[in-house]
């Protein structure tokens, strides 16, 4: 059993919301549950079209697949979403160049299965720590890994929003996959960079540790990100596995 809550917010600076979220505590295909966060990119309405298309394609592919292994399901579904976005972009000039980040997650028997492309994130949080499970596919993160930038420099770098992988950006897409055992007090946070560009990890952990319930925690994350400037769309999914 899971307790979940999701919210997406346009923020204070954007004219449209290019984020798209999906949350199902009920089975989808052979998965016990399914959660998705996507942050689209592209001019005009192409970004929100890309994120919605990716999420809808992933859900449809997983629902129709006989596969039961979460990693294989995520891999097949993300590939299908990449193909679909490329097909749509090739047929309409206004959609050319569109793409999207994706984070996908499912919980089964206190195991968390995760896939990600881009720089939207999944964290596991408890009262002792906040752990980023996903790995950002961004130019700045690559520089940090190579030792060319410090973590503090990276946070405020002018090129921090340049991503190196996206669903729909190339003919093929490579996702990263993670399997994480969940502790009794662990909480799962999925979010777009509209949250993490505004709030430090420590601030996120403090908010999650102080809320009365899952709804208040999610709403407070969005409020705090907007209070800090709200420069982008903000999307959050919170998942609490119940003992």
Integer-rounded Cα Rg, in Å, for the chain is 17
Report the C-alpha gap between 52 and 100 in whole angstroms: 9
- Helix (H), strand (E) at residue 203: helix 201-210
CA pair distance 93, 84, nearest whole angstrom? 15
What's the pLDDT score for residue 163?
Answer: 86
Over the chain, what is the mean pLDDT? 92
Cα 59 to chain center, whole Å? 15
Among 45, 70, 56, which Cα is nearest to 20's?
56
Which pLDDT value is given to residue 44?
A: 64
Model pTM above 0.85:
yes
What per-residue confidence (pLDDT) applies to 144?
Answer: 63
Residues 13-50: tens digit of each pLDDT: 999 999 999 999 999 999 999 999 999 998 667 999 99
pLDDT along the chain (243 residues), means of 10: 96 94 97 98 85 98 97 98 96 91 96 97 96 88 64 61 89 97 96 95 95 94 97 97 76
């Amino acid at each position: 059993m899971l307790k979940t809550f999701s919210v997406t917010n346009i923020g204070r600076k954007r004219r449209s919301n290019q984020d798209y979220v999906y949350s199902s505590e009920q089975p989808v295909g052979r998965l016990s549950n399914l959660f998705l966060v996507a942050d689209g990119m592209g001019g005009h309405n192409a970004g929100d079209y890309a994120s919605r298309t990716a999420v809808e394609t992933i859900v449809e592919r997983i629902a129709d697949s006989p596969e039961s292994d979460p990693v294989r399901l995520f891999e097949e579904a993300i590939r299908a979403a990449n193909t679909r976005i490329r097909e749509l972009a090739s047929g309409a000039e206004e959609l050319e160049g569109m793409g999207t980040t994706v984070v996908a997650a499912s919980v089964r028997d206190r195991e968390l299965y995760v896939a990600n492309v881009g720089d939207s994130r999944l964290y596991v949080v408890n009262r002792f720590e906040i752990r980023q499970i996903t790995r950002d596919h961004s130019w700045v993160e690559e520089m940090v890994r190579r030792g060319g930038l410090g973590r503090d420099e990276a946070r405020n770098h002018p090129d921090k929003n340049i991503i190196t992988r996206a669903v729909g950006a190339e003919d093929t897409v490579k996702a990263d996959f993670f399997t994480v055992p969940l502790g009794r007090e662990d909480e799962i946070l999925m979010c777009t960079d509209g949250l993490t560009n505004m709030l430090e990890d420590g601030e996120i952990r403090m908010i999650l540790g102080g809320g009365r319930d899952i709804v208040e925690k999610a709403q407070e994350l969005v409020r705090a990100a907007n209070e800090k400037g709200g420069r982008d769309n903000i999307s959050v999914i919170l998942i609490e596995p119940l003992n």
